[in-house]
């Protein structure tokens, strides 16, 4: 397992992050704990959860699993989504943040969170209020670093500017959706992260299962992609461009003697600006398959092939700006 620094910090995280959204739901507690133990044994130190995953059950399981190895784990969780029917039970107000962090700490059986992430933007709360609350949590020792997720580029930049101006702690990472079949972050976000040295830790690196090789052009009758809504629904994934990407991934997998999932994750690991893709696994078999993405290098010409087939069509202002790049 290799490690990278998380953004503009001295915090080293493993090149893969274990996502825990299925823990306590489609993955049993015992299997979830075993998954974490195997991950740590193989050098993984980065775990991602959220206070709303399975109604808090995911955090509880993670807490049990890391109880005797807390100092070896970089623990990330999130705040923003609704945790109750109360009018203040969601958002990024000071109240909701302070209430939520205490609940998360209790479920996680720890007295600090390594990376506390805002799950998405809250237009109802001034970003100054949110960042001040997060700054206080860092000062108190309950949180060590902060990050964001599912932001527009301007929202991240506005947040960084606000922290700079008020001398608040800054976001060191962002967690967006990103994969070979979801490269919208190439338009602005990825270049912003490179410029400001923001850690890039994408979710759904396998396109919600689309890139595992399990699916073909026939509409599936079971599996996650059968969902009628959501970013990883069949309605959003099933288009000819994505199938061409999938064909290329499967071809490369056969050529290299790897699985499609391993190829898709390895491509991400070798992308400039990438920190740590967050992979999820419903079963230990899936976990073992995903962990096969480490310990080898994809040949550059093969990486380029996948990059080309998955690249977004050139658009404005990128195609205009690229014409005037200065090579000095």
The number of CA neighbours under 13 Å toward the Cβ of 63 is: 19
Instruction: Specify whether 316 is catalytic.
Output: no
Give the CA distances from residue 144 to residues 109, 124, 139, 153, 295, in Å, rounded to whole numbers and listed in that order. Answer: 16, 26, 8, 24, 30
- Distance CA(159)–CA(307), nearest Å, equals 31
- Distance CA(258)–CA(2), nearest Å, equals 19
Give the CA distances from residue 12 to residues 5, 69, 172, in Å, rounded to whole numbers and listed in that order. Answer: 4, 16, 12
Among the listed residues 212, 237, 178, the one whose alpha carbon sits nearest the alpha carbon of residue 287: 212
Q: Which of 3, 53, 168, 178 is catalytic?
A: 53
Spatial neighbors of 173 by CB under 8 A, at least 6 apart, are 6, 7, 115, 117, 145, 147, 148, 198, 199, 200, 201, 275
- Distance CA(248)–CA(309), nearest Å, equals 8
- Distance CA(16)–CA(251), nearest Å, equals 24
As annotated, the active-site residues are 53
């Amino acid at each position: 397992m290799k490690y990278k620094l998380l953004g503009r910090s001295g915090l080293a995280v493993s090149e893969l992050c274990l996502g825990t959204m299925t823990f306590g739901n489609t993955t049993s507690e015992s299997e979830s704990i075993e998954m974490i133990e195997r991950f740590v044994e193989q050098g993984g130190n980065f775990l991602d959860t959220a206070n709303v995953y399975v109604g808090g059950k995911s955090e509880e399981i993670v807490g049990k699993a890391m109880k005797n190895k807390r100092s070896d784990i970089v623990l990330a969780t999130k705040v923003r989504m609704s945790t109750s029917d109360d009018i203040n039970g969601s958002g990024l107000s000071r109240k909701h943040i302070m209430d939520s962090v205490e609940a998360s700490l209790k479920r996680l059986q720890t007295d600090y969170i390594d990376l506390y992430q805002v799950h998405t933007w809250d237009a109802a709360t001034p970003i100054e209020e949110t960042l001040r609350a997060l700054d206080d949590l860092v000062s108190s020792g309950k949180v060590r670093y902060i990050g964001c997720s599912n932001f527009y580029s301007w929202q991240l930049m506005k947040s960084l500017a606000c922290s700079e101006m008020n001398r608040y702690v800054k976001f060191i990472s962002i967690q967006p959706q990103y994969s070979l079949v979801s490269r919208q972050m190439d338009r602005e976000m990825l270049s912003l992260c490179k410029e400001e040295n923001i850690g890039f830790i994408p979710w759904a690196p396998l396109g919600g299962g689309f890139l595992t090789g399990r699916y073909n052009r026939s509409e599936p009758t079971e599996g996650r992609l059968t969902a009628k809504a959501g970013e990883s629904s069949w309605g959003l994934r099933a288009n000819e461009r994505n199938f061409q990407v999938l064909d290329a991934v499967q071809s490369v997998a056969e050529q290299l003697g790897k699985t499609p999932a391993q190829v898709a994750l390895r491509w991400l690991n070798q992308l400039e600006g990438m920190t740590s893709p967050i992979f999820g696994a419903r079963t230990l078999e899936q976990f073992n398959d995903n962990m096969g993405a480490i310990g080898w290098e994809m040949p550059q010409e093969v990486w380029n092939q996948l990059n080309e087939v998955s690249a977004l069509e050139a658009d404005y202002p990128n195609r205009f700006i690229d014409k005037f790049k200065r090579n000095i």
